[in-house]
Amino acid sequence: MAALWNTRNLTMADAPNPFQLPNITKFKIALCQLSITSDKNQNLDRASRSIRLSVEQGAKLLVLPEMWNCPYSSDYFAKYAEDFDNRDASPTLSMLSEAACCHGITIIGGSLPEWDHGRLYNTCCIFGPDGRLKAKHRKIHLFDIDIPGEISFKESDTFTAGDQPTIVDTEVGRIGIGICHDIRFPELAALYRKRGVDIICYPGAFNVSTGELLWELVQRARAVDNQLFVATCSPSRNSTGSYTTWGHSTLVGPKESPT
């Protein structure tokens, strides 16, 4: 199966402070958990199909995984990176923009390796229903881990950290953005809540070691502590590469168990 997508009706009345939108009290969110390959074009095709299928099921907000246009490996990041200021050389951004406009949907574009002035960033792009880039978030907290006998990986060897929180107003509400390891830091979620965010979207690629221990726990903590919704989207698990993702894309509400 090329992709696993999870669509769910999200009711604003379930939250203590509902979205203050005059005509929208309910919308459907899609978490597109993609199976990633080393073929960039195939990854784009799979994402495009997932977006179309999600829209057919009524989704108004769609979230893609962290690093979905390439395998999660330092061997691929620079090779698959794109210059977002040069759309002719950025097929991934072009596809997301066209899909958002064609289907009239807000897309939280997971994350992609971004080249900018000789530096590499782990970046999430957000597109509105008109296809325009509304905002981008560069991963603030880079993931470095060394568990002897299990996993050793240092994002900081490859990426430059971002230094700004990202909030975007959409037709379904005010959304805060984090990427993967950003979820481990409660201060960022608390800042978003103070600024009126109703849902935080975290594209992520937790590995199987930390995923089993923390993935669901930290999502529920961020949702309950701040009384908002938390949506995460991960690549599908693939045990053949050097980095095995945990999967389990999830939506958590302020008063409920994850789904």
Domains in the chain, CATH or no CATH each: 29-252 (3.60.110.10)
Task: Specify the range with the lowest mean pLDDT, choosing from 33-47, 140-154, 190-204, 220-234.
Answer: 140-154
Q: Tokens 């784009």 belong to which residue?
A: 44
CA distances from 169 to 35, 102, 155, 164, 198 (A): 29, 20, 30, 16, 10
Is the pTM for the entire model greater than 0.85?
yes
pLDDT > 70 fraction of the chain, expressed in percent and rounded: 85
Taking 90 as the threshold, does the pLDDT of residue 193 lie above it?
A: yes
Beta strands in the chain (DSSP E): 3-11, 26-34, 59-63, 106-108, 112-116, 119-127, 133-138, 144-147, 151-154, 166-170, 173-177, 199-203, 229-233, 250-252
Sorting pLDDT into bands at 50, 70 and 90, what band is 243?
Answer: confident
Classify strands 59-63 and 26-34 as parallel, antiparallel or unpaired: parallel
Catalytic residues: 66, 139, 180
